[in-house]
Structure 1
């Protein structure tokens, strides 16, 4: 017998059916020479500080540098303690018995860094020494699974992947646990966290927010002229920008008195715009955030569900290409979309034997190829699942379509000593741009502007002139899509040329982890959403101000760690050297953080408005009664607005806050209201009375 271990029950079920292991047991399937079982993600992980006999934190106990690291069953938080997850313990016992009964193991966890770590930690924790092979597939279709079982690979060929995953896991433990506890000790109160990728990401958001806040908006003016030739009207805009209204008016008067402009340059060129490549995970998350307003985490979860339902290929990919041997499947995938009404017209225009092969590049495929749909066409999906599936579907159709051919015209005009200009685009062959229909929906810059025939020396009469009043714009706040791009391309902003060149394709985090990093910042109350923008909270800004000059907030160093992990994976660097460097850095950052001095807001002593006897504990996320028999609690985040300490003090002492603006209803509509307490200590809104 052989044991096949999948990452989730749903995947195990598919594999079991294909292998003929159709007898269902408690925690596994069996039959036809196979046991097929599953994990629930990470059943085993690195132990918590309490597993090393450390129950409290002080300066004397930090840093914690485990040697060796301990592995434990997955733990869950119960009140203020971590206890073993009963479901994890139960399933581990099932897996252990199956391993003991088997001659070998087939690893079918997700084919990536985390999937490898899930199995290897479990294998080590159980003390197993049975030989194992790796099922390495990019989709869960029957065809892919069969092909994978026909080409099983020795598990030890993935040692590099495991060593990199383990090094990442240990580095995150060392830096995360020690830096977080050191900052919390320095603060003296409250819960704080720092992390290898988390803190540079917070720094990106805070730095951009402060640049936006401190930006001084300055008005400026331009002049727009209306022309007409050959019964065609068109406009030109001044290249000059005026800050003074007086100088602007003088220029406008002079231009209008002159009455005409002369064409001094006409540049026309044919531009070939190649279709986009396939989505990698980060690309899909960015597009879903921009078009569907889905968070990166939501998109990943939806993509994972679509993968497990066999509708798309493996989502946690960092590549946008496919290898040559996958190309033979592309015409079938495209042809299969003929059954969809919204794809039939596009598909019928494509010549299946002459599809654009730009996405084929064996050298640019990493562990997994770019995101594809499978031959299994879904018939019923939730609205969000369907929307994400369609993004992947239409991106495939775009990627294999012809290039878009455009004619771009740039015209330079002059009146007196003032220059004006206009740009126009004419679509000659729509190519891939026609996949989604309207060019206006796809790209407003592609809206066609009809121009008469213009040549150098032409003199055009000015029909009228108008003033355009504009303002300089501050740096844009990060949206999730924008932040994902910044994380992906973080190395581009590094000053040192050699480092920038080395890091340009690395960034911070990985496609599979960036979503969870952003969610961690939300859960720590470091950031919140303002419409689609990500903005730091007071707590987030406080942490940034404290650590921004430390290496833990430095994107360059974090990106260098990512490079080191890639080298470990490829066998170019010993994991032990990287882990020693992490220990040295952990010691340095811990000692630096312990020396920090917090400027903390003085918290008032408040008495519970419900029991009238116990004091209140004010935390970042809530305020609660300390009395053992009283359950009074007040959340500080109310309809998207964080209640300040003065708001809390006013609410408890006088039963009513000052008017709070910027509150947001479930429908997204903003409103203002007071928060008031009733006789039983329950809070409610009181709205401003409108006088008729």
Structure 2
């Protein structure tokens, strides 16, 4: 019998349906010579100091540096004490029994550092020595799962990934336990928490907050000048800025009496704007915050749900590129959205795909976040926004270059310089997908200038 272990029950059900394990048992699914079980996230973790005989916060115990880190089942808090989680203990017993009966184990936890750690900690805690293979996939569609099962990789191929995850886990423990106890002892009262990531991140947030809180805005004045010629009206902005309103008013009076603005120089250039790269998790989180005010955690939670719903590929990726083989599937993935309310026309226009986001060398453990081709049946408002952001970005990334003709004009009035910029879109390219023809920093370049 082969045992497949997934990270969550929902993923286990998807895999079980593919391998024919349709018989429901307590803590696993069985059938066709397979047993498919699951963890509930981190079932096993590093033991706390009490497990090493160190109780309380005492200065003489620091630093706490275990020679060999112990693994224990997940604990939950009851009152003031932490006790083993009954649910975790029960599932570990199920996993142990299945591992003991298995010929070989297939690891189907999330294909990433944390997913690898979840399995290895369980495997080591149970003192298992059975051989195991790795299912390494980037989406949960039936086709992808089947392909992954046909191309299992040796588990030893991911030893370095596990060691990386283990080092991160132990570093968090060493810094968190020792720094928290040291601070609590030094303060003389209370329990204070410090962490390897938590503390520097909090420091950055506080620093930015104080910078914003202590910022004193400085007023300045500029002149705006409206010019009219042959029914064309353009608005210029002065190059000079004035800290004193009276100085600005004085110059304004001199300018308004002149009545003529002379063109001093015209600079025209053609600008090619390449399409944006596909999303990795960080880029998706940043843009979701900018557009929808979603927190990073909320965006990740929604993306994970879309992934488990087989609508997008693995979200915890650090790459913004696709490999050549995945790129070949893009036309098929997008073809099902030709009737999409917002992006259907963009799908139909997409012919020669731009390959800026295709680079085998820049694909890490996973490629960029893309849709799987499955159309959503019913999504909440927030889920739909994230899904459509990913679909839109795919269409943008594979569309043609946007070509603009940008014009910068310098006028002179009473020896004062005024500036205006204009832009003409010669080829909308990828910008036609969203219809937004300029970025925030280009908002002064949207006007079409008259002949000058």
Q: TM-score, normalised by structure 2?
A: 0.97
Contact 2:59 2:185 in 1 (8 A): yes
Count the aligned residue pairs: 452
Deviation at 1:446, TM superposition (A): 7.3
Alpha carbons of 1:446 and 1:257: their partners in 2 closer, same or farther (altered >3 Å)? closer
* Cα distance in 2, alignment partners of residues 392 and 383 from structure 1: 15
Specify every segment of 5 or more residues in structure 1 that has no aligned partner in the other structure, as ranges.
Answer: 455-692
Deviation at 1:406, TM superposition (A): 1.1
Q: Which residue of 1 aligns with 2:369?
A: 371
* Cα distance in 1, alignment partners of residues 45 and 396 from structure 2: 42
* Cα distance in 2, alignment partners of residues 413 and 49 from structure 1: 73
Q: Which residue of 2 aligns with 1:507?
A: none
Alpha carbons of 1:275 and 1:446: their partners in 2 closer, same or farther (altered >3 Å)? farther
Deviation at 1:159, TM superposition (A): 0.7
Q: Which residue of 2 aligns with 1:46?
A: 46
Q: Which residue of 1 aligns with 2:326?
A: 326
Deviation at 1:375, TM superposition (A): 2.0
Q: TM-score, normalised by structure 1?
A: 0.64
Alpha-carbon RMSD: 1.6
Deviations along 1:95-126, one digit per CA (max 9) or x if unpaired, are 00100001111100000000000001111000
Q: Which residue of 2 aligns with 1:350?
A: 350
Stretches of 4+ aligned residues off by more than 4 angstroms: 440-444
* Cα distance in 2, alignment partners of residues 305 and 192 from structure 1: 34
Aligned residue for 1:393, secondary structure, equals helix
Deviations along 1:584-613, one digit per CA (max 9) or x if unpaired, are xxxxxxxxxxxxxxxxxxxxxxxxxxxxxx
Q: Which residue of 1 aligns with 2:178?
A: 178
State how 1:150-549 maps to structure 2 within 5 Å: 150-351=150-351, 354-439=352-437, 445=443, 448-454=446-452
Contact 1:27 1:38 in 2 (8 A): yes
Deviation at 1:235, TM superposition (A): 1.1
Deviation at 1:261, TM superposition (A): 2.2
Deviation at 1:90, TM superposition (A): 0.3
Deviations along 1:324-352, one digit per CA (max 9) or x if unpaired, are 0001110011111114233222212222x
State how 1:2-81 maps to structure 2 within 5 Å: 2-81=2-81
Deviations along 1:503-525, one digit per CA (max 9) or x if unpaired, are xxxxxxxxxxxxxxxxxxxxxxx
Contact 1:436 1:442 in 2 (8 A): no
Alpha carbons of 1:438 and 1:359: their partners in 2 closer, same or farther (altered >3 Å)? closer
Contact 1:232 1:450 in 2 (8 A): no
* Cα distance in 2, alignment partners of residues 442 and 393 from structure 1: 22
Deviation at 1:391, TM superposition (A): 1.0
* Cα distance in 1, alignment partners of residues 145 and 213 from structure 2: 53
Q: Which residue of 2 aligns with 1:478?
A: none
* Cα distance in 1, alignment partners of residues 28 and 253 from structure 2: 85
* Cα distance in 1, alignment partners of residues 441 and 325 from structure 2: 34
* Cα distance in 2, alignment partners of residues 264 and 339 from structure 1: 51
* Cα distance in 2, alignment partners of residues 244 and 268 from structure 1: 34
Deviation at 1:385, TM superposition (A): 1.4
Alpha carbons of 1:207 and 1:62: their partners in 2 closer, same or farther (altered >3 Å)? same
Aligned residue for 1:421, secondary structure, equals strand
Deviation at 1:155, TM superposition (A): 0.4
Alpha carbons of 1:246 and 1:441: their partners in 2 closer, same or farther (altered >3 Å)? closer
Aligned residue for 2:354, secondary structure, equals coil
Deviation at 1:442, TM superposition (A): 8.0
Q: 169-178 vs 331-340, which deviates more? A: 331-340
Aligned residue for 2:194, secondary structure, equals coil
